[in-house]
C-alpha cells in the first residue's frame, strides 16, 4: 500500500516512517519542509495549492493527514487565525477533493482532543476539518478513521521543550507519548487495509488513566500532593526537586472505544515517566 503523509516532515511523520518501512509500506512525504529521514521520498509542496496536492496523491492508496497548525502555534502567537483557517480548513478540503479526483479511497485524519474546547481558534478549525471528513465519508464513500490524540509533541522537539523536565511537566497534567499515537495510526492502517470499516470511527488517543474516577473525584482530599503519594510516594521528593506540581489533577480521555475498534494498548504511562525521571542526574 502506497501512503501519502501530509506534514510528514514533522515529529509524527518522522516517527511513522520506520514503522511503515518495517511493515513493507511504501510512502511519500508531502510537506513544505525537508524531512530528516525519507528525503528521497519527499515531495515539496503545500495543501494550499490544489494542483500540488493532486500531484502528490497520484498513485497513492492511503493518506495519513497530519499537516496542521497546532495549539502551540496559537498559544505562542506564532500563527494568525487566517493561517489556521487556510491550512486546517481549506488545506483539508483541498486534500479531500484531491482524494476524490485521484480515486484515493482511504484516509486517516489526525485531529485533536482540543475539538472539545469552545475557546481557541485551533480547536475551532479542527472541528471544521472533522466535519469535512464526515461529509466526504457520507457523500463520497471515503473510508476514514479520525484519531483525536492528546498533546503528543515529543520531548526531543527543542523548538517546544527546553529539556525533558519541561516535557515531563506537560505529560503529568495530560499528554500522550508520540509512540502511542504512531501505534494508533498503524492500527488504523491495518483496519482500513482489511476493508472492515464502512463507518467513520472517531477515536481518542491517550495513555492509560493514571487514577480511577473515584480517586480523581476525591483528588488531594487529604492535602496537596497526597493523591500522588498514595501510589508513588517514593517519587514525591524527586517530583518536588524537578518542580513538577503533583497537586495538579491529571486529566485523561476515555480510550475504551479505541481499544475495542483498533486493539490499541498504550505502552507509555506515568510509571514509565517516573522511571525515566529517576535516572536523570
Tens digits of residue pLDDT in 214-270 = 999 999 999 999 999 999 999 999 999 999 999 999 998 999 999 999 999 999 999
- pLDDT tens, 121-180? 888 999 999 999 999 999 999 999 999 999 999 999 998 999 999 999 999 999 999 999
CB-based contact 107:65 (threshold 8 Å): yes
Cα separation, 161 vs 159, in Å, equals: 6
Q: In this predicted structure, what is the pLDDT of residue 196?
A: 62
Q: Please, are residues 184 and 203 in contact by the beta-carbon 8 Å criterion? A: yes
Check if CATH label 3.40.50.720 holds for domain 2-209+251-268: yes
Integer Cα distance of 12 and 3 in angstroms: 14
Q: What is the pTM (predicted TM-score) of this model?
A: 0.95
> What average pLDDT is seen over the chain?
94
Look up residue 179 and give its three cell numbers: 509512540
Q: Where are the domains of the chain?
A: 2-209+251-268, 211-249
**Residues pairing with 2 in the sheet:** 26
**Per-residue confidence band for 73, with pLDDT thresholds at 50, 70 and 90:** confident
**Distance between CA atoms of 37 and 18, rounded to whole angstroms?**
9
Burial class (CB in 10 A: 0-12, 13-18, 19+), 237: exposed
| Pairwise CA distance, residues 270 & 241, whole Å | 17
Amino acid at each position: 500500500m502506497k501512503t501519502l503523509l501530509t506534514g510528514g516532515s514533522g515529529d509524527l511523520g518522522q516517527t511513522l516512517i520506520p514503522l511503515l518501512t518495517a511493515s513493507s509500506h511504501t510512502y511519500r512525504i508531502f510537506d513544505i519542509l525537508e524531512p530528516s529521514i525519507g528525503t528521497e521520498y519527499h515531495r515539496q509542496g503545500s495543501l494550499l495549492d490544489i494542483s500540488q496536492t493532486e500531484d502528490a496523491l497520484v498513485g497513492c492508496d492511503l493518506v495519513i493527514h497530519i499537516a496542521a497548525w497546532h495549539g502551540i502555534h496559537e498559544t505562542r502567537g506564532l500563527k494568525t487565525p487566517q493561517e489556521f483557517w487556510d491550512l486546517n480548513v481549506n488545506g483539508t478540503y483541498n486534500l479531500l477533493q484531491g482524494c476524490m479526483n485521484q480515486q484515493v479511497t482511504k484516509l486517516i485524519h489526525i485531529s485533536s482532543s482540543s475539538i472539545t474546547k469552545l475557546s481557541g481558534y485551533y480547536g475551532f478549525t479542527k472541528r471544521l476539518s472533522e466535519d469535512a471528513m464526515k461529509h466526504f465519508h457520507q457523500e463520497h464513500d471515503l473510508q476514514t478513521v479520525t484519531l483525536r490524540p492528546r498533546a503528543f509533541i515529543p520531548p526531543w522537539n527543542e523548538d517546544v521543550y527546553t529539556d525533558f523536565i519541561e516535557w515531563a511537566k506537560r505529560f503529568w497534567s495530560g499528554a500522550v507519548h508520540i509512540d502511542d499515537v504512531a501505534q494508533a495510526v498503524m492500527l488504523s492502517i491495518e483496519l482500513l487495509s482489511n476493508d472492515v470499516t464502512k463507518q467513520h470511527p472517531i477515536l481518542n488517543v491517550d495513555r492509560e488513566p493514571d487514577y480511577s474516577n473515584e480517586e480523581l473525584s476525591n483528588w488531594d482530599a487529604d492535602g496537596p500532593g497526597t493523591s500522588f503519594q498514595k501510589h508513588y510516594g517514593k517519587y514525591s521528593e524527586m517530583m518536588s526537586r524537578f518542580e513538577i506540581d503533583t497537586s495538579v489533577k491529571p486529566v485523561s480521555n476515555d480510550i475504551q472505544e479505541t481499544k475495542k475498534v483498533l486493539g490499541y494498548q498504550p505502552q507509555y504511562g506515568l510509571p514509565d515517566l517516573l522511571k525515566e525521571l529517576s535516572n536523570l542526574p
